[in-house]
Amino acid sequence: MSEPTWLSKSPRPRISLTTTLGHKNLEDRHKPLRLDGSAKETLEQGRNRLVMAGVIFAFCFVILAGRLVGLAISGIGEDEATTADSDITLPVATEENKRAEIRDRNGVLLATTLTTASLFAEPKKVIDPKDLAAKLTTVLDDLSEATILSRLASARNFVWLKRNLTPSQQYQVNALGIPGLHFRSEEKRFYPMGALVSHVMGFTDVDNHGIAGVEKYFDAQLDGSEDNPSQDLTLSIDVRIQHALRDELSRHMSVFQAIGAAGMVMDVKTGEILGMVSLPDFDPNRPSDFSGDAKFNRITLGVYEMGSTFKTFTTAMALDSGTVGLKGGYDATEPIRKAGFRIRDDHPKKRWLSVPEIYMYSSNIGAAKMADEVGPKNHKAFLAKLGLLDKPSLEIPEIGAPILPPRWNSLETMTISFGHGLSVSPLQLSTGITAIVNGGAYINPTVVRRDDMKATPVRQVIREDTSGIMRRLMRLVVEKGTGGKAAANGYLVGGKTGTAEKAVGGRYKRDALISSFVSAFPMNDPRYVVFAMLDEPKGNAQTHGFRSAGWTAAPIIGRLISRIGPILSISPVNEESEAVQRAMFIPINSREKKLASF
């Protein structure tokens, strides 16, 4: 052993350069190495770098471990987001971003939005187009093989084969198992009732935005927005009434070969419209397949010279203003000649007629004289009160404004008194009749259900006792006058016929008629106003060639009321019973000489 150096006392092992240089003995190797100067610095640097690297690695591992723990506890990041979301929103799919449903007054579904599957193909991925076409036509029978093949032949990557499949069709297509066919889900507005409620409902475009009918009027409510969610809509329409109305109208339309028909049923007390049909109509499920004529709403948008039904207003006005009483009357022997026009009667009696006779026999001469006595100014004011001179208000956009005569003098008053020279929509006419029979209160019509069952009358049009007389006069028309075919046994129907020649190109066409009938029932306490109209009906053998309203439009009313009376829970009365007869009695005060033939 060599003598100990001062280095051997050091606690740190040292490298002794002397030992490495001179290998004197083995023990010398284990002696601490002694470093000095630059060698020591190098070693220190290496040590520091190692520590730094270690720290960085440790840091990374800590981050990794932390993330790992975090993931293990909270799951995958995306999951977290959805669960956090569902905490705030309502429990489960209650909020569906779908256009709201439309129902009828009894809750029958009229329009709903369904998620449907649309079938498309990727032509490049189709292995055997012919086989595909053959198989697909077995499932989708409205597609032909040729059209499928021509579509698959296109160079595009994406071709629609059929939009909006039914769930069973989708299932069947899936069952075929053809590669290259795919589905995309779409929203589709669906109208289960088809054409039945078409004109009231309207329809939507491909983006499910309403473009006609209540679909358009209530578009914002049905669609909803961020602040107010979409709300279901309940209409005043009753599909049972609507069906009966459409059924009778279409039957009579074909019997009399009319080019169109229209009808409506309206509640007298609330103004609710229970049925509104305009024929020809369309299927709102596929509106593009129908012509503009089919989409034309004859009830609200069409304005017509309504003919003798206007005599109801003329008579009510004369009786209410007191210019003539029930016992009074006018001479209807000779036609009136005025300013080159000749006003004559369709059913001439050629004698003095009392007011009830003028109304029941539908005398134009009598009505003209009656209105002339009231005067043009009062006449105009009265019709304005009945809402016949302004555009009516209803919850559909297709509303026609009436066509007023350019001047309103004595001649115009005379012609308007029997419904010529002023064009109004059937909606306006029915609403006016509602006011006449319900005690004289004008009520705004509506297609939305009124839950409070009481509408606020807008204004009083005629006195209540005048309304009572008008009811009995309307009953008289059906009982003894021109509207006999409108009788529905037990339901005390009353009404007025109206036959008008259509004005085409500024002159009246003799062979084109608008025959209409406006009625109310039961006449002892009117509940509903029923209107029916045929556009250009032709007479047949059963009507002895007649085309007038009493032969063509009145039977619709008769059949319809006996159909809808029980649905509307109107209890039938015995029309022959003394109490009913007394309630409906009205003195005719005829001056006809009964024994004139002797």
Partner 1 sequence: MKLNLTVLTLVLFAAVSYGLYQLSYEVQELEKDLKSLNVNIAENKESIRILKAEWTYQNRPDVLQALASKYLPLLLIAPYQVASVGEVPYPPVDPEQYSVPVPRYNPHRDYSPVDRAPTGPVQLATFTRTGSLQ
| Dihedral Cα 545, 549, 551, 557, nearest 10 deg | 150
Give the per-residue contact string, 66-105, with partner 1 (x = CB under 8 A; - = no): ------xxxx---x--xx--x-----xx--x---------
**Residue nearer to partner 1 on the CB measure, 90 or 339:** 90
Which one of 137, 172, 540, 562 is in contact with partner 1 (CB under 8 A)?
562
Quote the longest CA-to-CA distance of the chain: 179
189 is a site residue for partner 1 (CB under 8 A): no
Active site residue 308: yes
Minimum distance from CB of 281 to partner 1 (Å)?
13
Which one of 115, 254, 393, 581 is in contact with partner 1 (CB under 8 A)?
115
**Residue nearer to partner 1 on the CB measure, 145 or 247:** 247
Helical packing angle, 129-139 and 145-152, nearest 10°: 140
193 is a site residue for partner 1 (CB under 8 A): yes
Phi, psi of 145 (to 5 degrees): -60, -40
CA distance 236 to 232: 13
Which one of 187, 219, 247, 283 is in contact with partner 1 (CB under 8 A)?
247
* Contact between residue 561 and residue 555 where contact means Cβ atoms under 8 Å apart: no
359 is a site residue for partner 1 (CB under 8 A): no
Minimum distance from CB of 571 to partner 1 (Å)?
6
Q: Which of 564, 562, 238, 263 minimizes the C-alpha distance to 429?
A: 263
Q: Which helix (H) or strand (E) holds 352?
A: strand 352-354
**Residue nearer to partner 1 on the CB measure, 239 or 435:** 239
Minimum distance from CB of 302 to partner 1 (Å)?
25
**Residue nearer to partner 1 on the CB measure, 79 or 205:** 79
Determine how β-strand 233-234 pairs with β-strand 260-267.
unpaired
CA distance 326 to 356: 7
* Contact between residue 242 and residue 278 where contact means Cβ atoms under 8 Å apart: no
Helical packing angle, 410-417 and 364-374, nearest 10°: 130
CA distance 94 to 361: 62
The residue range among 240-248, 389-397, 436-444, 587-595 that interacts with partner 1, by the rule CB under 8 A, is 240-248
* Contact between residue 208 and residue 186 where contact means Cβ atoms under 8 Å apart: no
CA distance 287 to 198: 9
174 is a site residue for partner 1 (CB under 8 A): no
**Residue nearer to partner 1 on the CB measure, 209 or 563:** 563
Give the per-residue contact string, 264-303, with partner 1 (x = CB under 8 A; - = no): ----------------------------------------
196 is a site residue for partner 1 (CB under 8 A): yes
Minimum distance from CB of 61 to partner 1 (Å)?
17
**Residue nearer to partner 1 on the CB measure, 71 or 153:** 71
240 is a site residue for partner 1 (CB under 8 A): yes
**Residue nearer to partner 1 on the CB measure, 204 or 431:** 204
Minimum distance from CB of 204 to partner 1 (Å)?
15
Asked if omega into 522 is within 30° of 0 (cis), the reply is yes
The residue range among 129-137, 153-161, 353-361, 574-582 that interacts with partner 1, by the rule CB under 8 A, is 574-582
CA distance 485 to 559: 9
Minimum distance from CB of 255 to partner 1 (Å)?
18
Q: Which helix (H) or strand (E) holds 188?
A: strand 181-190
Six-digit token string for 251: 């039957």
Q: Which of 516, 278, 509 minimizes the C-alpha distance to 400?
A: 278
Q: Which helix (H) or strand (E) holds 353?
A: strand 352-354
CA distance 190 to 465: 48
Which one of 54, 167, 229, 587 is in contact with partner 1 (CB under 8 A)?
167
Which 8-state DSSP code applies to residue 379? H
The residue range among 111-119, 313-321, 465-473, 530-538 that interacts with partner 1, by the rule CB under 8 A, is 111-119
* Contact between residue 494 and residue 583 where contact means Cβ atoms under 8 Å apart: no
Minimum distance from CB of 223 to partner 1 (Å)?
17
Number of residues that bind partner 1 (CB under 8 A): 42
Which one of 55, 566, 581, 585 is in contact with partner 1 (CB under 8 A)?
566
The residue range among 152-160, 425-433, 504-512, 566-574 that interacts with partner 1, by the rule CB under 8 A, is 566-574
Residues 456-485 that bind partner 1 (CB under 8 A): none
Minimum distance from CB of 530 to partner 1 (Å)?
16
234 is a site residue for partner 1 (CB under 8 A): no
Minimum distance from CB of 566 to partner 1 (Å)?
4
575 is a site residue for partner 1 (CB under 8 A): yes
Q: 460: which residues sit within 8 A by CB, 6+ positions away?
A: 440, 441, 442
* Contact between residue 232 and residue 111 where contact means Cβ atoms under 8 Å apart: no
25 is a site residue for partner 1 (CB under 8 A): no
* Contact between residue 545 and residue 539 where contact means Cβ atoms under 8 Å apart: yes
Six-digit token string for 158: 């994406």
Give the per-residue contact string, 205-224, with partner 1 (x = CB under 8 A; - = no): --------------------
* Contact between residue 528 and residue 495 where contact means Cβ atoms under 8 Å apart: no
CA distance 177 to 283: 34
**Residue nearer to partner 1 on the CB measure, 241 or 416:** 241
Count of C-beta atoms within a 10 Å radius of residue 378: 16
**Residue nearer to partner 1 on the CB measure, 93 or 339:** 93
Minimum distance from CB of 44 to partner 1 (Å)?
33
Tokens 């309207």 map to which residue?
202
CA distance 414 to 445: 28
Selected catalytic residue, list 16, 236, 278, 308: 308
User: What residue ranges bind partner 1 (CB under 8 A)?
Assistant: 72-75, 79, 82-83, 86, 92-93, 96, 108-109, 112-115, 167, 190, 192-194, 196, 239-240, 242-243, 247, 489-491, 562-563, 565-566, 571-577
Which residues are catalytic, by number?
308
